[in-house]
Amino acid sequence: MRDNPKLSLFTRVDTGLARFACGLLEGLKHLGLWLLGLIAIADYFALIFEYGEGLADMALHEWAFMLLALALTWRHCHYARHFDYGFWRGLGRWLTAQGILLAVGMIVWANLEFTGSAKALDSLSLANKEEEILSLAFALLALYLGAPTQPRIAEQPKPVTENAHQVPSTSPTPDKAVSP
């Protein structure tokens, strides 16, 4: 596109600027999601080790969460290696999944606060436990859905040339023409 002689200087500068802005926003989006992912991971640790008393802070369901999270992380690494994602892209995808979860959670929470439904939920005596279990369950779901399931760069189908000659079969039976 840049080498196209028909484009004027103004158009080339304009498209270049637009491409630069899009790239910058794309980078900021990834950076924001990674940061949100890191905050989410820190939140989970704060939720589990709330009093800073080590293993005494861990209930049975939190042990289960940790084990499942480890298993799902191993699955993520296994698939990332299998589909040639590399370390940083695999880690980025892992963090992005948690970041998206936190972003969606924040949007839902802000909506509830804005519409005043959060107070209604509080009055229903929803204890912290239910919220905690829900958060941990969604974290596991994000870990499950965030794992790569197909190659990062899809394999391009080989172009079929029109004048490609047919290779005769090597089977002992001769090739037959299909009669109409």
Partner 1 sequence: MKTLTPLLTLTLLSLPIQLSLASTDPARLIESCTELVNIYDKHDQLRFAAAQTTSLSEAMRAGYCRGVLDEYQRNYQCKTRDWREQANTIAKGAHEQPGAQDVDHLLATACGY
Contact positions toward partner 1, by CB under 8 A? 50-51, 53, 56-62, 127-129, 132-133
Residue 62: CB minimum distance to partner 1, A: 7
Identity of the residue, 125 or 166, whose beta carbon is nearer to partner 1 in the bound complex: 125
Q: How far apart are CA 25 and CA 40, in angstroms?
A: 22
- How many Cα atoms within 13 Å fall on the side-chain side of residue 133? 8
And the tokens for 57? 């802070």
Q: 């209604």: which residue's tokens? A: 120
- Residue 166 makes CB contacts below 8 A (sequence gap 6+) with none
Q: Token pair of 153, please? A: 């760069």
Question: Considering the complex, what minimum distance in angstroms separates the CB of residue 59 from partner 1?
Answer: 4
Radius of gyration over every alpha carbon of the chain, rounded to an integer in angstroms: 26
Sign, CA torsion 47/53/59/63: positive
Q: CB of residue 122 vs partner 1: minimum separation in angstroms?
A: 9
| Beta carbon nearer to partner 1, 60 or 164 | 60
**Under 8 Å between Cβ of 13 and 74:** no
- Cβ nearer to partner 1, comparing 43 with 62: 62
- Amino acid identity, residue 45? F
| Nearest residue (CB) to partner 1, 19 versus 129 | 129
Which one, of 136, 126, 144, lies nearest residue 62 by Cα? 136
| Least distance CB 58 / partner 1 (angstroms) | 6
For partner 1, which is the closer residue by CB, 14 or 131?
131
User: Min. distance of Cβ 38 from partner 1 in angstroms?
Assistant: 25
